Structure 1
Amino acid sequence: MSFQGEQHPGVQAPASETRGFRLNHTMLRVKDPQTALEFYSRVFGMQVLRKLDFEEMGFSLYFLARLEEGDAVPEDAAQRSVWTFSQKGLLELTHNWGTEDQADFAYHDGNAEPQGFGHICFSVPDLDAAQAWFDANDVEFIKRADQGKMPDVIFVKDADGYWIEVVEAERMANKGDGMA
């Protein structure tokens, strides 16, 4: 029998009507797309899969992914849109036009009061190497791997102040199980 998910109060068995549903992307609003794209492409190696402009509403969407060897991304824009919206784990950066020209403009990061949205997370193959990479690229840390009550977890900020958790899967094996 295959894994059926952990059972907790409130968890219901998936309805057959939800077969094929998957989380495609998480969206963050960004003040300046050039600054945000520079950060995510340089620091996290992400590439823009598709940019969609909505002139009548005054915003653009940038869909980013960390492509892997063998990912067959279509060249044709329409087919690439279809491919993009069928993927898992994408980051959508939404730019409302004109915010980049407002000196005092900032989005709520979700961690200041009142708290709401918390963070996105990247898994990396080597947490120590990632931490050194962030240092070399002047990334702002909220928490380093050897700080705080949760060792082996890094938190950094992106160009808009959003929090990014960074983990190494192997180091997460016993987190939260009362076994350190």
Structure 2
Amino acid sequence: MRLLHTMLRVGNLEKSIEFYTQVLGMKLLRKHDYPDGKFTLAFVGYGDEATHSVIELTYNYGVESYDLGKGYGHIALGCEDVYATCDKIRAAGGKIVREPGPMMHGKTILAFVEDPDGYKIELLGIK
């Protein structure tokens, strides 16, 4: 078994695809419209779905926003240099909601960015 994807409901599919591809550097792997079901799915990620976990962006026709709820936490992305990654995200128009620095009560360097729907993405320093 392996993790295939995480699904997020989004209010503006094109804006979300632009954020995940242009700001976070993912690739649009596939997109399919289901008019009978009144929804569209788009899959984004850093690599092929056969070997990488990806994000499924689900747009339900006519729904512009969602209550994110209290149970959802965040998506985590590993990067070599959190500070440089935040600079690139900021330059691309991304919103940093927690500036890079050591985690509370620890030494791991992290930051948080927010996507167009308000979902949090944690950036973790990895070597």
Classify the TM-score, shorter chain.
0.7 to 0.9
CA RMSD in angstroms, aligned pairs only: 1.9
Structure number with greater Rg is 1
- Alpha-carbon deviation of 1:87? 3.6
Aligned residues: 125
TM-score, reference length from structure 1: 0.63
Residue identity over aligned pairs, in percent, reads: 35
> 1:49 maps to which residue?
29
5+ residue gaps, structure 2, are none
**Within 1, Cα distance between the matches of 2:2 and 2:16?**
26
**Selected match of 2:4 from 10, 17, 24:** 24
> 1:98 maps to which residue?
62
**Within 2, Cα distance between the matches of 1:47 and 1:146?**
27
Matched to 1:96, the amino acid is: N
- Is contact 1:109–1:163 with CA below 8 Å preserved after alignment? no
5+ residue gaps, structure 1, are 1-20, 72-83, 100-104, 171-180
Q: Which has the larger share of strand? A: 2
* Paired residues for 1:61-100 under 5 Å: 61-67=41-47, 84=49, 86-99=50-63
Structure with bigger RCO (C-alpha 8 Å, 6+ apart): 2
> 2:66 maps to which residue?
107
TM-score, reference length from structure 2: 0.87
**Selected match of 1:159 from 116, 119, 122:** 116
